[in-house]
Copies of this chain bind each other. A is one copy, B any other.
Amino acid sequence: MSEDKYIEKLFIPVSIGRVSEEVVLQIEAAILDGRLKAGERLPSEREMQSQFGTGRGVIREAIKILKQKGLLEVRKGAKGGAYVRELEVSNVSESLALFLKQHQVSPETLIEFRESMDRTITTLAIARSSVDEKEALLKEALRFKATLLEPDPDLVAAAEIDRNLNIMLARMARNELFEWVMHALQMGFSSHDFALYEDASYRAKAATNWSNTARAISEEEPMKALSFIGLHYALLRQCVDEMNGEAASMVAPFLDDNIEE
């Protein structure tokens, strides 16, 4: 009995304002300053109901909000309840993806941003990643190329590999922020990349170019790598322009030439 008071002094009864928000704030605070650590379990709803001195509905609403924020995970049944979760990038991604969805960002805007990030990431990755990582990247890029060059390529699998390549590269830059932002944007632009690989004429070039980029990185040739990245986005822009039916007047015609590795 008195143990309860000792152990669970976490929460205090609510008195002011919108009760459910107070509950959210108290739990969130407890998580953020470490009184509740990832994996730990919160008291049951009925328990918290009495600790906070409120109705159960309020507790449930608070839990739903924190669950939406990605801070809690809820399981039902015996030994169920609300468990503190380690925040994942996917929460930020979802939030950003929702925003992009409602705000209709143009392909060029996404391409431009991504190209800028990619250039920095590539430079950092060459300087900081291990030889093993560089080799792994090259190997994956070759697998990507092989997948796309088959007669009837599995585009879904290819998109998955492409996504993975981007994540690998971002991780090699040794800066989580690039990794997260790339991750968060992925949903937004994956559709465009997909278009690039759907068109057979672009497919081969883009695939070859990825492997060239990976090779330049593994050989620690930053200028070459950046050059290939420029080509990738030139191709992507041309492809998007064509899809929109716009005259690809600004795109160099010689991009149609074959690219050998």
Contact surface of A with B, Cβ cutoff 8 Å: 20, 32, 57, 60-61, 64-65, 68-71, 86-87, 89, 91-92, 95-96, 98-99, 101-103, 105, 109-110, 112-113, 116-117, 120, 124, 175-178, 180-181, 185
Contact = CB atoms under 8 A, between A and B. Distances in A.
Copies in the complex: 2
A169 to B, nearest CB: 15
Contact of A103 (B64, B65, B87, B185): B87
Nearest to A62: B64
A69 B65 CA distance: 9
Dominant secondary structure at the A interface? helix
Contacts of A177: 105, 109-110, 112-113, 185
Contact of A64 (B65, B99, B101): B65
Contacts of A113: 175, 177-178
Q: Sort A-B residue pairs by CB-CB distance and give the 6 closest, nearest first.
A: A95-B95, A113-B177, A116-B120, A68-B68, A87-B102, A61-B64
Nearest to A63: B61
Contacts of A92: 92, 95-96, 99
14 contacts: A20-B64, A57-B57, A57-B60, A61-B64, A64-B65, A65-B65, A68-B69, A86-B102, A92-B92, A92-B95, A99-B180, A109-B177, A112-B124, A116-B120
A98 B87 contact: yes
Nearest to A116: B120
Nearest to A88: B99
Given A92-B96, A177-B113, A32 B68 contact: no
B176 A109 contact: yes
Contacts of A89: 99
A108 to B, nearest CB: 9
Contacts of A178: 113
Contacts of A61: 60-61, 64
A71 to B, nearest CB: 8
Contacts of A86: 102
A246 B116 CA distance: 32
Contact of A32 (B96, B101, B176): B101
A172 to B, nearest CB: 14
Contacts of A120: 116
Nearest to A65: B68
